Each structure stands twice: as C-alpha cells, then as structure tokens.
Amino acid sequence: MTAAGRRWRSGRAVVERRGARARDLIMIAVSLLGPIAFAVGMRTSSHLWQVTVPLVSAVAAVALWWRRSRPVLVTVIALVAAVVTHVPVALTFALLTLAIRRRDRVLAVLTALAIANESVHALASGSNWFAATIGSALPFLAVVAFGAYVGARRDLVESLRLRAETAEAERELRAGQARLGERTRIAGEMHDVLAHKVSLIALHAGGLEVNPDAGPEQVERTAALVRTTAREALEDLRRVLGVLRTDLSTDGSDLAPPPRIADIERLVAASRAAGVSITLTCDVEGTPPADVSRTAHRVVQESLTNVHKHARSAATDVRVRGRAGVGLDVEVANREPVAAASLLPGAGLGLVGLTERVSLVGGRLDAGPTPDGGWRVAAHLPWPDAGEAS
C-alpha cells in the first residue's frame, strides 16, 4: 500500500471512530431527554419517584457508551431500567446494537423480555391484551429486524473484504513461489553449465602443471582451449544473470535452447580435448522428448564434471541407449583414477540435484562406486511411444 493510501485509510478510520462516538452521544442525549420530560410532567407523583426515574434512566443512558464492546450487558441494564421507569428509549437503542452485533438465542430472549415488559405496562394502563401485545411487539421487532439487516450486511461486506485480501495474499504467495522456483531452476542451470566449463579449465591447467616440459605448441593449444572455455563460461554466466535481472523468464524461454542427445557428443569432445580418455557409445533410435533429452544431457554433463574434478586421469565410458516405448538409459562409468587429489572442491550437491532432475521426468538414478575402484552413474528415463504419449 502506498503512503497516500495509508494516510487516506488512517484518516477514514479517525472519521469513522469520531462519527461512532458522536452517534453514541446522540443516543445518550435522547435516552436522557425522554425520562427527564416524563419525570417533570409527573407533578402528582411522589418526590422519590420523580428522582428515581431520571436517575435509573441516566444509568441506562450512560451505559450506551459501551454498547459496542458489551452489547449484552448494556441491553440487560437497559431492560432493568425499562422495567423500573416504564421508559424503553435506552432499551430500544441497546436492542438495535445487539441485533447488529449478534443474531442468536440471546437476542431472541432479550427481545421477548422487552416485548413482555411493554405488554405488561400497556395492560396495566388499561389496554386490552391484543392491542397491548401488538403495540409492544411491533416497535421492538422493527428495530431488531433493522439491526439484524445492518449487521448481516456488515458481516457480508467484511467477509468479502477478507476474501479479497486472502485472494490477494495467495496471489502474491503464488507469484513469490513461482519466482523462487524459477530462480532455483536457473541456479541449477548455472551449476550444470558453469561447473562443467570451470572443471574443463581446471583440467587444462592441471595438464600444464603436471607436464612442465610441454612444447610451445602444446602450451599455445592448451591456452587457446582455456581461453575459449572461459569465454563460453562468461557468456553463459552473462545470459543467466541477465534473466535474473529482467525477471521475465517464466518458462525457460530466456535461457539457452534445451540440449539434445546430439549435444552429448560435444561434451565428450570437450573432455577429450582436455586430456580425458573417453569412449562414447550412442545407440538411440528416434528423437526423445525435450525433457528426456535435457535430462540425459545433464546426467552426462554432471558425471563428466565429477570426472574432471575427482578422477581426471581415469578412463571413462559413456553409453546412451534407448528407443520409444522402452526408455532411455544413460550410463557414465570411470575406472579408478591414478591421481587421488581433486582439482576443484565439490559441494556435494551435484548428485542431489541430478537425482531431483531425473525424478521430475519419472526416471530413476543410481550412483555409487564400482568393484574396481571407479564410479558409476546410471539413469533410466521413461520414453513413451507416440501412442502412449497421446
């Protein structure tokens, strides 16, 4: 809410509060004027009665100040005053407030008592039973009906206001969750792409470090590969950060095109250029769905990234097989590395994210050490045929 809106709402609350108190004062004044005039006109009555009527009426009238916070108590006080003074002005206002605040058994009982009290007074003054009952019931019933209508309308407006506020809050919550989910997805893209590129850079640099006697041509070729990989990593980072700044991507349209099965060959070629011995076996019939292709690409990418980090000297086998109706199987297995030291630190979240990616497409992932001291990552991804997909 803007500052102007808050000021307007605060000013409106002040006006409503002052207007409510002004109505309270008017009701108190009207409740006092009737009994005072009634007492002044009772010249033939005793002095005690002339004092009792204004005093009791004053108590009932002043109690109207708390009619909103204590409507039942105020109504009971006004009823007692009406029984004593035979003047139901304060009782009428109290019943009106009670009908606005609550419409239940308490209201029905107090209304019936008020009607009975007035009927008794009317019968005592000489009216017949029918006229006394009807004449006493109609005014109170009209006041209670009007108060119930006002109260029901206020409750309806309040429920609509609360419903609108709840809907707005839920909409903001859903928007926030969507933004959070999108940023989480983009963070996964950053991890998959940048970690792979940075691991390649570290692998190239490690090759120069372990081979200090390399000739100028080898150094120049390795430096060119490092420069090219670093530039690609910066471009990927710039693109992802641009999405985060604009906050326009809701379906991945601002990111790079989704990878395909054919892009796995480029991953393997980049790792081979970095000095990793990799064999690739790709036997895929047809074109898998986009989400299956993307997931398979990420499985190979994350597995090769781990090879770059933790098993740079280990021979690695990459196998991708599958067809529609059977599924797509992706396996990356490396042998025991000669060098035990890792080039880059790992957060241990790569396989966690990979497991989540595979589960999102309904597949399963197995990762763990092999009997010969290596490591194996295997994923099975569902690939329905055209008939099942439709």
pLDDT of residue 41: 59
Average pLDDT of the chain, as a whole number: 77
Mean pLDDT for 348-360 is 76
Residue 300's CB is within 10 A of a number of other CB atoms, namely 27
> Tens of pLDDT along 242-259?
655 555 444 444 455 667
> Coil, strand or helix: which one is 381?
strand
pLDDT of residue 81: 87
pLDDT band of residue 4 (cuts 50, 70, 90) is: very low
pLDDT of residue 287: 87
DSSP bridge partners of 369: 375
154-157 long-range CB contacts below 8 Å, 24 or more apart? 154/100
Q: How far, in Å, CA of 218 to CA of 27, rounded?
A: 100
Q: How far, in Å, CA of 69 to CA of 109, rounded?
A: 20
> Tens of pLDDT along 199-240?
777 766 666 665 666 667 776 777 777 777 777 777 766 666
Q: Is 342 left (phi over 0), alpha (psi -120 to 50) or beta?
A: beta
Mean pLDDT for 378-382 is 93
pLDDT of residue 381: 93
Q: How far, in Å, CA of 192 to CA of 189, rounded?
A: 5
What predicted TM-score, i.e. pTM, was given to this entire model?
0.44
Q: Which of 155-159, 212-216, 364-368 shows the lowest per-residue confidence on average (mean pLDDT)?
A: 212-216
pLDDT of residue 45: 55
Instruction: Provide the CB-side half-sphere exposure for 215 (13 A, CA).
Output: 1
Mean pLDDT for 139-164 is 89
- Does the pLDDT at position 377 exceed 90? yes
> Tens of pLDDT along 253-283?
445 566 788 888 888 888 888 778 889 999 9
